[in-house]
Amino acid sequence: MRTFIVTFLIWLLAFPAFASQSVPVDTGKVTASLVSSHDSVAPGEEFYIALRTVLDEGWHTYWRNPGDSGEPVYLEWVLPEGVSAGDIAWPLPRPIPTGPIVNYGFEGTPLFPVKFTVSPDAEPGSVITVVANFYYLVCKDVCIPEQGSASLPIAVGESVEDMGWKTEIDAALAASPIRGTVQGGITKTGETVEMSFKDLPGGDFSKAYFFPYEQGIIGHSQPQLVTRGADGLSLTTTPEYLWEDPMSGPVDGVLTYDDGGTLKGTQVSLAVGQSLDIGAAIVPKANVGGVTLWTAIIGALIGGLILNLMPCVFPVISIKALSIAKSAHGERSVIRREAWLYTAGVMATFLLLTLIILGLKAGGAEIGWGFQLQSPKVVAALAILLFVIGLNLLGAFEFGGGLQNTGQDLTRKSGAAGSFFTGALAVIVATPCTAPLMAGAVGYALAAPALVTLAVFMALAIGFALPFLLIAYVPGLLSKLPKPGPWMVRFKEILAFPMFAAAIWLTWVLSLQAGEDGVLVTLSAMLAVALAIWFFKRTGMLGKALGALSVLAAIAMPLSVTANAVVGDIAVKELKAEKWSPSRVAELQAQGRPIFVDFTAAWCVTCKVNEKLVLNKSNVQTLFEETNTAFLVADWTNKNDMIAEELAKYGRAGVPLYLVYNNKSVSPAILPQVLTYGVIRDAIAEE
């Protein structure tokens, strides 16, 4: 009995030698140890040992492909006879921006499991000692190579699991990517690489990301633009140096996606030179806040209604309202005819804009809502047109019947062509504004197939024209309108001044787009208009001829306006901000700073209202200073494909768009189009 007790005590004292965790090794910025799924293993059994690393806060190590720089975690095993080890079951990496480059790696407490097998001939009662020599590069502001060694004895005998470490190892294995059913192909065209995937598992692929196992295939620091199709997915990015020679063999890697709030990954082998058919493109719901076809149509309809209340539309809408007020107490058929002609002008112009957008996008252009105002020629011509309408409203001259409804003749009930033209003009001047509910709907439309795009834009057109149709068909509304009288003459003259104000605003927009030369040309064209009016009032043929020449000059001069190469400096200076770029966002994320990104344009009225009422206020500037928030401005006043691509990533086809990155978050929060101090504060403070 004494011998048994002594033996038991000796075994008990020796038990810590066979514990399922090694002595932790502090290598500097990392504390590493070996942990085992088993306290003891049976002969022939498989089990897992994992390198467990606890990194200091803010430091990271690297995946098997470290990205633009770095070195992967390395394990060298020293094993006794009869024990074999497999490969590392790598955990899912995440992109780690570091200045202008992007690395793939881990922070926190990553676990690196490895499968071991004990020989069936292992002798029960023996002890196998597994030794691991490990090396890793650990980085924050600087990079430090660290290494160490740890040993873990495992008893051979009855299989005994360590439920604590086994649970943690099993969780790491479950989170590691495995080979599934996903099929993939990769092709290079010019300076673009497209990766296509089919047979995807269930999950949200709106922010899908592909991590190749090998460096030199894709640009790690470049965005991967997601296109979701009915039958699959494609990611578009830039090629790297391995494409300089003909690529052979498959490209292996991991495709990550969101599965109910959990990041998951699946191993994929991409066939080089093969492009899979992913079906008709659809908009990922996560990119547009869950927008579907019907919600987009409803949002466009309501957004079109609200668009009538936006300040950019007021000068033209008010003239149409004056026209209806004059004829409200006359024949109902005339009112309805003019309302339908106005609607036809709205619908036709929306249709024309949509077809132009579809044509330009088919040609590879990045285009969006308000695209025509990115052309200095269009802005100059529109400023001159509003100036002409203002003069006409003041009674400086009258158009003939063919252009009725743009000035004094606008108020005549016989203005059929004018009603149509007013609807067209209202659509053109409405494009600087984006009403609530419009952004997601328009973004959805421009990323969807052509028929869906047409359906959504037609819903927007119907919503925009609907108020005048309702007035024409609801007797109660007509009866509440004032009766015609002398007040209408005075009111018509008053309406000239919003027209002049709009012309001044467009000229200011032009100063940002085309500089002082563009402003000079536009003002000269306005002078030519004034000369033409004066000449046409002369009775002689010479006056008529000079008037015609002046009109031709006024038409030709806007066509000579060209965009200035330097755009956005004024906005950046006014807002005390920096210019936006993907590389600058990456740099700031690497520094751990919150980021506020303002996608704006000089012609965007909603943007300017937010700037004046919110962003330029001292409390917001103080908030940015106290939280060390970087303020970036992406100025879309002139055409910019990089900004258009970024807008498309978030399901937007126009500005404004406001993004907030919290510390090192890869994905930003999307703020409402109408800003308040509280909205910005809460977004920056949110963890």
Residue 594 tokens read as 């919150």
Torsion sign, CA atoms 482, 483, 487, 492: positive
Query: What is the per-residue pLDDT for 566?
Result: 47
Residue 172 vs residues 62, 110, 665: alpha-carbon distances, Å: 16, 9, 22
Residue 331 has what pLDDT? 65
Count the residues in the chain: 687
Greatest Cα pair distance in the chain: 137
Q: How far apart are CA 615 and CA 573, in angstroms?
A: 13
- Assess contact for 575 and 598: CB atoms under 8 A: yes
Q: Could you tell me which of 228, 283, 301 has the C-alpha nearest to residue 653?
A: 283
* pLDDT score, position 186: 94
pLDDT, position 567: 47
Q: Which residue has the tokens 């929060």?
A: 669
Residue with tokens 């927008």: 291
Sign of the CA dihedral running 552, 553, 558, 562: positive
630-635 vs 578-579, strand pairing mode? parallel
592 with 653: CB under 8 angstroms? no
* pTM of the complete model: 0.49
CA dist 476 and 496 (Å) reads 30
Type of residue numbered 153: P
Distance of alpha carbon 338 from alpha carbon 655, whole angstroms: 33
Q: What does the DSSP 8-state code read for residue 537?
A: T
Neighbour count for residue 646 (Cβ, 10 Å)? 24
Strands, DSSP E only, in 44-91? Answer: 46-55, 61-67, 74-78, 83-88
Read off the DSSP letter of residue 611.
Answer: I
Our CA dihedral for 200, 202, 208, 212, rounded to 10 degrees, sits at: -50
657 vs 636: CA distance, rounded Å = 11
User: If you write DSSP's letter for every residue of 300-352 in order, what string do you get?
Assistant: HHHHHHHHTTSTTTHHHHHHHHHHHHHHTTS-HHHHHHHHHHHHHHHHHHHHH
Q: Cα–Cα distance between 533 and 398 in angstroms, integer?
A: 10
* pLDDT for 124: 92
| Cα 515 from chain centroid (whole Å) | 29
Strand partners, 139: 60, 143
Sign of torsion over alpha carbons 440, 443, 446, 447? negative
How would you class 54 by CB atoms within 10 Å of its CB: exposed for 0-12, middle for 13-18, buried for 19 or more?
middle
Q: Which domains does the chain have, with CATH numbers?
A: 16-174 (2.60.40.1250), 179-282 (2.60.40), 288-560 (no CATH), 569-685 (3.40.30.10)
Report pLDDT for 426.
Answer: 73
Q: Quick one: pLDDT at residue 510? A: 77
Q: What angle do CA 396, 397, 402 make, to 5 degrees?
A: 150
* Token pair for 439: 């952004």
Residue 414 to residue 84: CA distance in whole angstroms = 94
CA distance 681 to 685: 6
Q: What is the pLDDT of residue 360?
A: 67
3-state secondary structure (DSSP) of residue 566: coil
The residue written with tokens 């959805």 in the block is: 444
CB atoms closer than 10 angstroms to residue 611? 20
Q: Say what the pLDDT of residue 408 is.
A: 39
Q: How far is CA 498 from the centre of its chain?
A: 35
Closest CA to 438 of 313, 295, 314, 315: 295
Q: How far apart are the C-alpha atoms of 434 and 656, rounded to whole Å?
A: 8
pLDDT value, residue 310: 66
Asked if residue 599 lies in contact with residue 587, where contact means CB atoms within 8 angstroms, the answer is no
Element (H, E) at 445: helix 438-447
Are the beta carbons of 343 and 332 closer than 8 angstroms?
Answer: no
121 burial via Cβ count (<10 Å: 0-12, 13-18, 19+) = exposed
Cα–Cα distance measured from residue 104 to residue 447, given in angstroms and rounded to the nearest whole number: 30
- The per-residue b/e assignment along 304-327, b for 16 or more CB within 10 angstroms, e otherwise, is bbbbbebbbbbbbbbbbbbbbbbb
Residues in contact with 13: Cβ distance below 8 Å, sequence separation at least 6, in sequence order: none
- What is the CB neighbour count within 10 angstroms for residue 299? 25
User: Can you give the pLDDT at residue 14?
Assistant: 42
Element (H, E) at 365: none
> Do residues 104 and 90 lie in contact, with contact meaning Cβ atoms separated by under 8 Å?
no
Helix 487-494 and helix 314-327, axial crossing angle in degrees, nearest 10: 170
Structure tokens at 422: 């007013």
Q: Which two tokens stand for residue 247?
A: 């690529």
Give 10-residue mean pLDDT values along the chain (687 residues): 47 48 94 94 95 93 92 94 94 82 90 95 92 93 90 93 92 89 91 91 87 92 82 89 86 91 90 88 44 74 76 62 59 76 84 77 59 72 78 69 37 56 73 60 66 82 82 66 64 75 79 78 84 80 81 80 56 67 78 86 76 84 88 84 79 81 68 85 76
Which tokens in the block code for residue 608?
A: 């300017």
DSSP 8-state symbol, 636: -
User: In terms of Cα–Cα distance, which of 5, 35, 211, 224 is closest to 113?
Assistant: 35
φ/ψ region of 539 (left if φ > 0, alpha if ψ in -120 to 50, else beta) reads alpha
The beta strands (E) that lie in 566-646 are given as 578-579, 595-600, 630-635
